[in-house]
Amino acid sequence: MSRFIPVDRQTSYLFPPSVEDWLPENHLARFIVEVIERLDLSEPWRTG
């Protein structure tokens, strides 16, 4: 039984690519992320 991990030498990425690299600058997903980052989400998770 071999302990070697099979490797695909034809893989073009060492790490998984970033989705941001694949999305155009004006893509709707970028807008949604920007809006969510600006929201104050501390109130729903406030305890007490």
For residues 40 and 21, give the distance between their C-alpha atoms in angstroms, rounded to a whole number: 27
- pTM for the model: 0.51
Q: Which pLDDT belongs to residue 8?
A: 81
At residue 14, does pLDDT exceed 80?
no
At residue 27, does pLDDT exceed 90?
yes
Instruction: Work out the pLDDT band at 31, boundaries 50, 70, 90.
Output: very high
R_g over Cα of the chain? 20
Q: Which of 6, 8, 32, 7 is nearest to 19 (CA)?
A: 32
Instruction: Work out the pLDDT band at 21, boundaries 50, 70, 90.
Output: confident
At residue 48, does pLDDT exceed 70?
no
